[in-house]
Structure 1
Amino acid sequence: MKAVLGDIVIAEAAQDDLIKIEGNWYFPPQSVKSEYLVESATPYTCPWKGECQYFSVKSGDTVLQDRAWSYPTPYPTSFERVGKDYSSYVAFWKEVQVTE
């Protein structure tokens, strides 16, 4: 599967390596091209996953605020609900299309 912004592939991995949580595909950290992500200061803590790290997605001069996110150190209790450790996996929103 791929996470794509326009014609730029931001992440790519086999579907078996991704994790689907609440309708969003989370890519393994090693499959994400970090040069397209900029850490955001936007705070958020999920009641069951823990503290979230947002990223803005950049493509040339375009920066899309908070279009990717990750849980670097999720609550250990969430692993049972998700089915595996998803620490630092990255999900995408809106303009970043996830396709097969």
Structure 2
Amino acid sequence: MLRAVYHGQVLAETPRTVRVEGNHYFPPESVRRDVLVDSRTKTLCPWKGIARYYSLLTDETALPDAAWYYPHPSPLARRIKNHVAFDPDVDIEGEPEGPSTGLLARLRARMGGHR
């Protein structure tokens, strides 16, 4: 199970994420909406499109622009539509569950599972 954690508080939890450019993008249904509020911030990625942001706000803490998502990504980034990635201050913990299907997993399988 993968978790996005900030100061001991779980912000998102899911068996698998989508990895893009080193970031874990959590499925929208796995994210705690009760601690994220819409931000006015928007940024442009040349190949993913326009990112919208959330700020983290709880009784104990606030972190502006703590997470981002692409509501209308480019066709190249369609796998991350509405998935949420987190600021580097948010820890990503755990391991993905289920079979891996990425290139590295296929190469390991061909080599007998050795690293």
Q: TM-score, normalised by structure 2?
A: 0.75
Partner of 2:23: 24
Partner of 1:4: 5
| Structure 2, unaligned runs of 5 or more | 95-115
CA distance in 1, matches of 2:51, 2:30: 19
| Counterpart amino acid of residue 22 in structure 2 | G
Partner of 1:90: 84
Cα RMSD between the aligned structures?
1.2
Q: 1:65 to 1:91 in 2, by over 3 A?
A: same
CA distance in 2, matches of 1:9, 1:71: 22
| CA-CA distance at 1:61 after TM superposition | 4.4
Percent sequence identity over aligned pairs = 41
Q: Could you say which structure has the larger radius of gyration?
A: 2
SS at match of 1:43: strand
Higher relative contact order structure (alpha carbons within 8 Å, sequence separation ≥ 6): 1
